[in-house]
Amino acid sequence: MSGGICSIISAALVAMGITFGIMPFLLDFCRKRGYYDLPGGRKVHHCAIPRLGGLLFMPSMLVALVSVLILSSSWWQGVLTLKVSSLAMAVGAFLIYIIGTVDDLVGMKPNHKFAVQLVAALLMPFCGLLINNFYGLFGLHELPVWFSYPFTVFVILLVVNSINLIDGIDGLASGLCICILAAYIFLYLQMERTFVYALVASGLLGSLVAFFYFNMWGKAEKGTKTFMGDSGSLFLGYAIAYLSIKYATNNPVVLPYRGDALLISYTLLIVPTFDVIRVALFRLYRGKPIFEADKSHIHHLVMAAGFSMHQAWAVIMGLFLFFCGLNAALYVWGVSDTWIVVLDVLSYGLFHVAMYLCSKCRA
């Protein structure tokens, strides 16, 4: 395991170094070509910011992964096996990365973008990677195939778009994903024959940490600030969806049965996915298109309650940690998964009521 830890750290450092090294050149390219995210509408920034920072996530992760595998080939003998589901993830991730890049560069119609997302999402379950067990949630255990396939596709699309849509203030999407990836590194390290997934998460985490620096503390006036854009957020969402579903899939040949598998994956994704579901339901209730952009996302509501952008980041990250701590405690105390989900929904609702009341007091 000591060799494994060294490989994990090496992958993160390589990806981080690549991102730190190339980012200044990428920002200069954005300035010369005019690839900016302009202020206005529902956006909270007040000046033009380069929007291609996330373009480095996939290549830096791949270089880090390949480098570590080459340098530690003796340690990896018998550990890395090429599987159909891994190929599906690679093809799907590439499709997602391409449409995100095209959207950042020249723009893309939402229906065309969603169609490619759907194709990428379909690859996972049809190559054997699907949510096939609820582990007692709502009284359900093993799921029928006719339900598992569409439900898995729905979850993938939900996660991909939730990461994309929560990328509304500095450091929020990247901060949440850094925490999620760190958790999956730890989780996959605890099991046999899953080290490659910890390595993938580590490479992506390293690139994200470097991006976080430019996104959170970069200065627009000095040309050191950037946004991840769709190329970064969509790819990030797809990679996390893959890691989450892989962990939640009940496959005793590869992984032992783990009653907390689905609960853990669900808990790590509560903040972004609950936000998208809430916004979609409210838009439907008001008779508005669910894809219509507005200022109803969680970061908008927290800022409307009187918090600055960085304070809103801290509040939402605190909410993420709250749900992780709450669900861990409830699970240890023997509370069923169903009641944990119910308490999560109630807690999330109370949080939004509190934010709404604070915003009304300020009005």
Residues flagged as binding site for Mg(2+): 164, 230
Q: Cα–Cα distances in Å, from 215 out to 154, 170, 174, 226?
A: 30, 6, 9, 5
**Under 8 Å between Cβ of 298 and 167:** no
What is 65-100 written as a DSSP string?
HHHHHHHTHHHHTTT----HHHHHHHHHHHHHHHHH
Q: How far apart are CA 264 and CA 49, in angstroms?
A: 35
Amino acid at 254: V
Q: State the binding site.
A: 164, 230
User: What are the C-alpha distances in Å from 241 to residues 89, 139, 197, 312?
Assistant: 10, 24, 12, 25
- Whether 240 contacts 122, CB under 8 Å: no
Burial class (CB in 10 A: 0-12, 13-18, 19+), 2: exposed
